[in-house]
Amino acid sequence: MRYELCASQDLPQGKSRAMEAGGKKLVVYHLSDGFYATQARCTHMFASLGKGKIVEDKCVQCPLHRARFDIRTGEVSEWANFPPGVQLLNVVRGEKALETWPVTEEDGHLFVEM
């Protein structure tokens, strides 16, 4: 299914925004090469990626334990590493990629395909 998200001008380059589409919570990102969407919760301890930061125009960093995910593919770039000792939890919470969805821009509006 295809869902309308917002006007593309409402999401400046280098920014992200938490949204909902098709009953799923997601985060939409505006990178230098376009728009992308990932699930809204980190796969480590389910912190909100809507509060995460975009790093190097390619990754979202979780605000809780600093796990990083490639926004374009959802793949883990760096697993949770903060604060020291969180690695003990990583034995139980192994690396897991984010779910992603394609975002298109048409007539000044963003759409996600789910």
Specify the DSSP class assigned to residue 83: S
Range of the domain at 79: 2-113
Give CA–CA dist 45/92, Å, rounded: 11
Give CA–CA dist 83/12, Å, rounded: 31
Residue 16's DSSP bridge partners are: 29
Domain count, the chain: 1
Q: What's the predicted TM-score (pTM) here?
A: 0.91
**Residue 96 has what pLDDT?**
95
Give CA–CA dist 96/114, Å, rounded: 20
Which CATH number goes with the domain that contains 103? 2.102.10.10
Give CA–CA dist 64/12, Å, rounded: 24
**Residue 40 has what pLDDT?**
98
* Low-confidence residues of the chain: pLDDT under 70: none
